[in-house]
Structure 1
Amino acid sequence: MQKAGFQTGGFQSNPFLSHHFNYDVGFDTFEDYQNPLMGIATKIFPRGIEVNHPKLRRIDEKINLTKRIKDVYQLFRGKPRPYVGADVITDDCIDWIDDADSNFFAWAHYMDVHHPCFPPVEYRKEFDAADVTQEEVSEWYSALIRSPDTLNSEEINDLESLYCAAIKYTDHQIERILRKLKEEGEFEDTLIIYTSDHGELFGDYGLYGKPERMYDELLQVPYIVTNGPEYLESSKDELLSLMDTMGIIFDAVGIDLPDSYEGIRPGHEQRDHIVGEHHAEGETVIGVRSEKWLFELDEMRDTKRLFEITDKGIDERSVNQGDDYVQSVAEKRLSELDIETELLEEDLEEDVEDRLEDLGYI
């Protein structure tokens, strides 16, 4: 987009999408809010304020590292979460749009619908969770992921209420950007894409959070396109991947797709499957979802699972009963990942590899 003459601005606070990993490339303005304290907190707590890296877990058992860092972080920031709030992202994005050229590309990425969910008090009140403290949110969510049986139904309901409250809060912040575009008379001429990366389980299948599985509750995300090409209407009920987003953008502004593009052009092509992946501590779960089948290739548990998708729901089947195609796609993708892992281990500089290990990637 930058090379095509668009002014580009990005606003987000996820450390995995920061300048440390070159996500600022191509942006004229890029705010990732990686101040030193924020960087320390996010490096140690990639899922929030909890210890989920094996090495840190052992240290935590000896010196209660979690509480010490929580106390320091609370002292300086007043909130135990490793990201800035949606209001900051929106304020900066709107200010940037004010000064941007007529042709601009803006990316606003919000972390508020991510543990630890703790939106402003008016939203917590609306969802009957005003009395929950920030520390309780952190502790309960950690327990929810590791041992949900230790929480009572009221605590789990409070976490789900805060999740819903955070969604509403984030929606209202996005609405501010849309209102700004309308006030400036730019709304009708602006392609707007609204989406997310994954869902969250609250007791579905007896699981919580985002476990290493490929259920539709995790894979299906909101995907809303406004002011896009009319032919996208035909894609409403078809399989789409987040990888296809670039095809929509480039089609809308008349840019040729680069040879490296791996998605499709929605409205011109159709998908017969999507692929989802989860990586943790050197193991991988790959899911391949077609219209009728969901296949999971699970290295973590050394197993394969097949589900048939019907109008009545999802039913597990014997692996031999299904379509061989989805299984072959999963096995091919796993072989590609094995190659990428070997290259990663060989080519990374030592300090970069150390940081990735600290973040729990390798």
Structure 2
Amino acid sequence: MKNVVLITVDCLRSDRCGFNDHHRDTTPNLDQLATNSLIYDRCYSTGPYTTESFPGMMAGQHSYNGTQYGDNVGYKALSSDSSTLATELTANGYETAAVISNPHLTTNRNFDGGFDTFTNHRSDADDDHDDDSGSNFGSKMYALREKMRNQPTRYNPLSLLYAVHRYRQLMTEWPTTDGADIVDEVTDTLQQLGEKQSPFFLWTHFMDVHAPISPKRADEAGLASVPTFRSLHWDASRAGRFFEPNYDTLYDSAVRYVDNQIGRVVETLRQMGELEETVIIVTGDHGEVLFDRNEVYGHPPHYHYDDLLQVPLLVYDADGPSGRIQTPVSLAWLHEIIAESANVELSGFPSESGLESIRSEGEPNPVISDTLDETGHTISIRDGAHKVILHNSFQDNQIKWEYRSEPSCFNYQQDRAERVKIGDIPESLLKEGERRLKEEGRLPEIQGEFSAQTEQRLQDLGYKM
């Protein structure tokens, strides 16, 4: 059995990686690793939102068969009896550890299940306390962003106020944890794991690409070396949903910054003498909309186009195959990739590819992504050529995309931007999507509620609470 290191990056677009032919030098460390890796050219998240993508990665679950946290079906969790990557690897004798940073991935929502050690740098120790310090300010800043989106121009007093607020955070505590600090702890954790006799599984998650992007980190990476207030102005345009082409450069520089940190992880494994005995998996939880469609930045929950659903997937295994895989795959099948690459048996996951080998070409089961919240349920389902998006509204909502009223179908391989709808929808995909489309916004529930501090952290990242 081989060690497994899973590296996930929030908001990482597949088309912004150098090994996927991006024109900027965003991922030199990953590019080098990619020469001896499997690259999955058509990998898709289980949902366009962190709270829906990680149950897929960790437990093979989608929203339609998942669990909600508290009374809001929009926020997913893992049930205590879920089979996860960590629980199954632990059962196979692995030492398991996680060093992450995301206020969604908390112990209260059972994302620590199966891990011997679990550190989340953006999580309260107890999510159920009633200290409301700072929560009012967080809601005010969320309201400010909403007002910015109603301004006639990006140059307005509200954008200036937003930039000043971000500058203050830059001088005190930025909303996302620095990936360099994450890797410092990852390095220590790897060295501790390496001293044991068992194989190990380490999961680490980076938030540096998630908006708001730190001007300091973007500057350090070198692709967006501009004065701080210029970076903050670009970010204010994003927050106000004004098209800002320079934000692309800021995003790419953040990707380069994370690539530098991943390079440090790989070098640590090399110095430990464990690189050849370790399967390294690098992917994103979802992509990021960069004004691909007018007035949209970020990752709206019911946005099911592939600028948000498609993610990079790189699998390094010194003894395994390398090259590029064209077969469409789901991150819900990550357990199969780990099982085959690390030579370990993993079971109990509800989603399976149907492939004899997930490390070679084949005809898999349909790839499904979905979003379920109090406003409705959106499902996208695809085979090797076609993708169908369906939506069922539970209440009057503001979803403005074409599939709100009727299913949309695209030949997503020929029409990569998904601009031309196909009238002849494949019946098998349509029926499979309709079969899974829920009629109400309710799932089995894990009791709990967000603390004021967690709500503020989520609001500061742009989430509505």
TM-score grouping bracket, smaller chain normalisation:
0.7 to 0.9
Paired residues for 1:319-330 under 5 Å: 319=423, 321-330=424-433
1:193 aligns to what SS in structure 2?
A: strand
Distance in 2 (CA, whole Å) between partners of 1:357 and 1:85 is 20
Which structure 2 residue ranges, 5 or more long, are not aligned?
1-88, 148-157, 393-398
Q: How many residues align?
A: 335
Q: Which of 115, 119, 127 is the equivalent residue of 1:31?
A: 119
Residue 215 (structure 1) aligned with residue 305 (structure 2): yes
Q: Which of 369, 380, 395 is the equivalent residue of 1:276?
A: 369
Distance in 2 (CA, whole Å) between partners of 1:210 and 1:28 is 32
Question: In 2 relative to 1, CA 281–136 (structure 1 residues): closer, same or farther, beyond 3 Å?
Answer: farther
**1:194 partner amino acid:** V
Structure with larger RCO (C-alpha < 8 A, sep 6+):
2
Q: Which of 80, 104, 108 is the equivalent residue of 2:200?
A: 104
Distance in 2 (CA, whole Å) between partners of 1:283 and 1:245 is 27
Residues 132-181 of structure 1: CA distance to partner in whole angstroms, max 9, x if unpaired?
3675455333212xxx3xx5xxxx12321111000000001000010111
Please say if residues 195 and 223 of structure 1, whose CA atoms lie closer than 8 Å, have aligned partners that are also in contact: yes
Indicate the residue corresponding to 1:342 in structure 2: 442
Distance in 2 (CA, whole Å) between partners of 1:44 and 1:281 is 23
Residue 309 (structure 1) aligned with residue 405 (structure 2): no
Shift in Å at residue 5 of structure 1? 1.6
Question: In 2 relative to 1, CA 192–361 (structure 1 residues): closer, same or farther, beyond 3 Å?
Answer: same
CA RMSD of aligned residues (A): 4.0
2:189 aligns to what SS in structure 1?
A: helix
Question: In 2 relative to 1, CA 140–20 (structure 1 residues): closer, same or farther, beyond 3 Å?
Answer: farther
Question: In 2 relative to 1, CA 76–361 (structure 1 residues): closer, same or farther, beyond 3 Å?
Answer: closer
83-92 vs 247-256, which moves further = 247-256
Please say if residues 282 and 313 of structure 2, whose CA atoms lie closer than 8 Å, have aligned partners that are also in contact: yes
Question: In 2 relative to 1, CA 165–121 (structure 1 residues): closer, same or farther, beyond 3 Å?
Answer: closer
1:84 aligns to what SS in structure 2?
A: coil
1:174 aligns to what SS in structure 2?
A: helix
Residue 18 (structure 1) aligned with residue 106 (structure 2): yes
1:109 aligns to what SS in structure 2?
A: strand
Q: Which of 277, 291, 311 is the equivalent residue of 1:189?
A: 277
TM-score, normalised on structure 2?
A: 0.61
Indicate the residue corresponding to 1:236 in structure 2: 325
Residue 92 (structure 1) aligned with residue 185 (structure 2): yes
**1:262 partner amino acid:** S
**1:334 partner amino acid:** L
Question: In 2 relative to 1, CA 128–284 (structure 1 residues): closer, same or farther, beyond 3 Å?
Answer: farther
Distance in 1 (CA, whole Å) between partners of 2:223 and 2:169 is 28
260-269 vs 294-303, which moves further = 260-269
Question: In 2 relative to 1, CA 184–19 (structure 1 residues): closer, same or farther, beyond 3 Å?
Answer: same
Please say if residues 167 and 232 of structure 2, whose CA atoms lie closer than 8 Å, have aligned partners that are also in contact: no
**1:285 partner amino acid:** T
**1:225 partner amino acid:** V
Distance in 2 (CA, whole Å) between partners of 1:123 and 1:294 is 40
12-21 vs 164-173, which moves further = 12-21
Question: In 2 relative to 1, CA 121–348 (structure 1 residues): closer, same or farther, beyond 3 Å?
Answer: closer
Please say if residues 2 and 8 of structure 1, whose CA atoms lie closer than 8 Å, have aligned partners that are also in contact: yes
Please say if residues 239 and 272 of structure 1, whose CA atoms lie closer than 8 Å, have aligned partners that are also in contact: no
Residue 267 (structure 1) aligned with residue 367 (structure 2): no
279-288 vs 351-360, which moves further = 351-360
Indicate the residue corresponding to 1:61 in structure 2: none
Shift in Å at residue 124 of structure 1? 6.1
Residues 327-356 of structure 1: CA distance to partner in whole angstroms, max 9, x if unpaired?
122212223xx57x4343xx4536469999
Shift in Å at residue 49 of structure 1? 9.7
Question: In 2 relative to 1, CA 357–49 (structure 1 residues): closer, same or farther, beyond 3 Å?
Answer: closer
Residue 291 (structure 1) aligned with residue 387 (structure 2): no
Indicate the residue corresponding to 1:171 in structure 2: 259
1:10 aligns to what SS in structure 2?
A: strand
1:245 aligns to what SS in structure 2?
A: helix
Indicate the residue corresponding to 2:81 in structure 1: none
Distance in 1 (CA, whole Å) between partners of 2:101 and 2:107 is 10
Shift in Å at residue 110 of structure 1? 0.5
Distance in 1 (CA, whole Å) between partners of 2:373 and 2:173 is 24
Please say if residues 117 and 137 of structure 1, whose CA atoms lie closer than 8 Å, have aligned partners that are also in contact: no
Higher helix share: 1
2:311 aligns to what SS in structure 1?
A: coil
